[in-house]
Structure 1
């Protein structure tokens, strides 16, 4: 139940900043939230770099809060989830994504 609630909240918490919009619902609905991310109420910013075909080359953790080892591990796990959930058709690179679980 807790995971379901957190998943629904992340749909509202994921934001992207770029010239080209992405389907936020698609990313938010696909993200797998590590328990440590929810328990530590992390806020993480990721930079997604795409190749010319729009496929994800890399997802880098730009920053995360709170600054602790469990939060760092959760941010790395979330970055893999962002990479797996990236929607097709987005060509803007690099793009920053914020996942904010600080209010959960």
Structure 2
């Protein structure tokens, strides 16, 4: 199976820490579900040019564990499926598609 569903709840009393994740896309698609923990992977997607993608920017969000729906380790890019509803998505300054 190329992906794993994340369903492990935190232990009682254990702190849950939001982790920074990244997405390379045009602004209109910044809220889609596929994210990565690698700026390099996000930069590749932000550069566009493959699969008919237009150049975009790198977006970041601090993602709480309860928003992580699955993780795909296929293709060596560690894709996270994230519930982005109402999640603040911020462009990464100085890290545009070619920066």
TM value normalised by structure 1:
0.26
Normalized per residue, the structure richer in strand is 2
User: Which structure is higher in RCO with an 8 Å CA cutoff and minimum separation 6?
Assistant: 1
Higher helix share: 1
Larger radius of gyration: 2
Normalised by the length of structure 2, the TM-score is: 0.27
